[in-house]
Amino acid sequence: MSLLDVFDLPQIYTKPSPEALLETLAILTSAPPSWEPSDIKDTTECSARLGRRRITKSKAPQINPEGVSRYLTSIVSSDLRWIQDEEAKEEIWNQASFRLSERSGRTAMGALSRKFRIPSPEGHIELSIHEPALTGDDLGLKTWAASYLLAKRLPTFNLVQPGRKLQVLELGSGTGLVGLAMASLGADVVLTDLTSIHPNLVRNLRDNNEIVQERNGSVKSGVLDWTEPTSCQLFLNGDLKTDESYVNLDTKFPVILATDSLYSPEHPRWLVNTIETWLAQDNDAKVIVEFPLRDAYLPEIQNFREHMSKIGLLVLEEGHEVGYDDWGHCGVDEEEDDNALVRCWWSCWGRSLVAK
Ligand SMILES: C[S@@+](CC[C@H](N)C(=O)[O-])C[C@H]1O[C@@H](n2cnc3c(N)ncnc32)[C@H](O)[C@@H]1O
């Protein structure tokens, strides 16, 4: 496909029609569907507040990124006085502003919903994950590379056996991708996180409930803070604001999942204490985790290994793989995209090697 230059786009001084401008702005979407460039063709659909228009990136022409920000600024700063339709003008300004903020990285972007394609024994499924506009330190409002990698790896562990319901607990679920993928394999999954993350988690559980149920799985959500590992409030139908009815979780789980959970010195101890609290005593109980190997947090990973071995768990299987932690300035700056590449370590832990 040939690369268009910014000068090939309708220029403001030529007084382009609203349709031409909106079409161009749709093409300039740097939609971040997943972190797999090879998947973009199948999965790129970015909606929500990125704009009412949907565009399949594979059908759009490629635009040379040089000068695109300047082009967008020329639209935002124009009074578009040749366009009579006030609503169309608003839409053009909005879309141009969205395109500019996409080019400033994820934190500058608004809320968005993304579709993730996950392999399953019956073929691929698509999970729709909503991410609110990012605020402060709420890392759980974004979906991280390790979670997408583990979501895709889950079927390889053959955890769900025919005729046996599997109960799974996820710790620090964030937007819920891993827990939802597990439930789509037919497991009953409790997804947990902090109070501030829980409402968006509930939204994602609701958005994907149908696909989970079609596959004989179920999802529930709870608030479980690793600093108080013995208490988990399980919400049966709703979020914290509207639903007062919760029960205290009191079962243990044969499988626990966690991704990207180690980014402070206390995290390994807290996480492992929580695992110890909720992991069933069965010999075949398993803990499956995936963490990015960020230089700054390698001591945390080592610490996690040590704490896990202190509670009698050992690695049954482990490996490394590479994913995309974010889309950087996707399609805008190739170097940024490279920076988004992240190497992750996955591991499956159990009480004895025989259980493998
Ligand atoms: C980097 S995010 C990863 C989210 C998700 N697992 C993923 O990989 O996309 C870390 C998650 O751990 C949660 N978390 C951090 N500290 C926690 C704590 N003390 N108790 C429970 N969850 C915690 C955060 O709220 C956040 O959702």
Nearest ligand 1 atom to the CA of 146 is: 8
Cα gap 235→202, rounded to integer Å: 9
Q: What is the dihedral of CA 247, 251, 257, 260, to 10 degrees?
A: 50
Nearest-CA residue for ligand 1 atom 26 is 140
Ligand 1 proximal residues by C-beta, below 6 Å: 139-140, 143-144, 146-147, 172-175, 193-194, 197, 225-227, 259-261, 270
> pLDDT tens string for the chain (356 positions)?
567 888 889 999 999 999 999 999 988 876 554 445 444 333 333 332 233 333 344 456 777 878 888 899 899 888 999 999 999 999 999 888 888 877 766 666 677 888 899 988 888 999 999 988 766 567 778 888 999 999 999 999 999 998 889 999 999 999 999 999 999 999 999 999 999 999 999 999 999 999 999 999 999 999 999 999 999 999 876 544 555 678 889 999 999 999 999 999 999 999 999 999 999 999 999 999 999 998 899 999 999 999 999 999 999 999 999 987 654 434 444 444 455 688 999 999 999 766 55
Ligand 1 centroid to residue 139 C-alpha, Å: 7
Report the 10 Å Cβ neighbour count for 8.
13
Retrieve residue 279's tokens.
């992991």
Query: Exposed/middle/buried for 1, CB within 10 Å: 0-12, 13-18, 19+?
Result: exposed
Domains of the chain: 3-103 (no CATH), 119-355 (3.40.50.150)
